[in-house]
Each structure stands twice: as structure tokens, then as C-alpha cells.
Amino acid sequence: MRKIENFVKHTFKDVSKEGKAELIKSVTVSLIEKVEDLIELGMTEKEAIDKAVTEFGTVEDFFQVPEELTRKEKRRKTMNHYKNDLLFSGVGSIIIISILLYTNLYFNPSILWFVIPSIAVLWWPLAILYNLLNKRENRKEENDE
């Protein structure tokens, strides 16, 4: 199994030193277990080692999955951020419109002037909703590709 250890050390030679020893140890153990399983299935030791090394791939392949998970997690957080923005802008608009309505009815109930600034205030949640829907559409397009 010296071949496996040398392969793993050579494969991860350019990885930063932080956590490198643990990474090499865990990958080596998993590859050795895979080789042992392949030997139990009837392969010779050389065939099993070659197959395990071939299926492992490169360092880029090894680190690709966490990058994809990180990207998906970032997208999920972004979507949650947009939802929180939409909630905040909706509640904020309701509060502002309520204050305008109260002021209008208290000082000058004969003319309903609060409608005009209320329309302007409603653009805030509409803009946030537009951004949220665009982000969802972009996310669907990325998933289709």
C-alpha cells in the first residue's frame, strides 16, 4: 500500500499546510479501504490500486464538490437575504403609509393627499420583489444548464 501513500502525498503536495496531514491521512485510509474491497472482489493488488487511483482523479476533482456546495450555500443565503429584504420593505412601507394616513386624517381629513406619497413608498417593496424574481429566474437558468 506504499503506492497509495505515495500517490496521495504527491497529489496533495500543493495543498496548503493547514489540515494537509489530516486530509492526506483520511484520503489514504479511504483509498486503502477501496483497494481492499476491490481485492475481495477478485482483483489483483496491482489492478485494485490502479482502479482506485484512476477513480480518485485529480486534486481539482477532489475539491470540486465542496466548491459546488459552497456556491449552492451562497445562493441559498442570497435568496434568503432577498426574502428578508422584501419582508422588511413591506413592513416598512406599511408603517410609513400608516403614518401618512394618520397625519392626513388628523390634520386635514377633507383632502386625501396621503395617496400620492403612498404610491411613491410602494416602489420600495416593488423594486425588492423585482430583484428577488430576477434572482430566481437566473437561478433556474443556471440549474437548467
Q: Are residues 72 and 100 in the same domain?
A: yes
N-to-C CA span, the chain? 41
Confidence category of residue 145, pLDDT binned at 50, 70, 90: low
Same domain, yes or no, for 52 and 75? no
> What percent of the chain shows pLDDT beyond 70?
88
- 95 in the same domain as 139: yes
Q: What is the mean pLDDT of residues 4-24?
A: 76
Q: Which of residues 26, 57, 88 is at a domain's end?
A: 57
> Of 33 and 91, which is predicted with more confidence?
91
Q: What angle do CA 85, 112, 118 make, to 5 degrees?
A: 15
Outline where 16-58 has alpha helix (H): 20-40, 45-56
135 and 97 within one domain:
yes
Mean pLDDT of the chain: 84
Residues 24 and 8 sit within 8 Å (Cβ to Cβ): yes
Q: Which of 26, 24, 28 is nearest to 13 (CA)?
A: 24
With a cut of 70, say whether residue 60 has pLDDT above it: no
- Within this chain, do residues 84 and 35 fall inside the same structural domain, yes or no? no
Give the pLDDT confidence score for residue 136 in this predicted structure.
84
Same-domain pairing of 75 and 136: yes
* Most trustworthy range by pLDDT among 59-68, 117-126, 130-139: 117-126
Give the chain's domain count. 2
Q: Are residues 70 and 139 in the same domain?
A: yes
Evaluate if residue 59 carries a pLDDT over 70.
Answer: no
pLDDT in tens, 71-88: 777 778 888 899 999 999
Q: Both 100 and 130 in a single domain?
A: yes
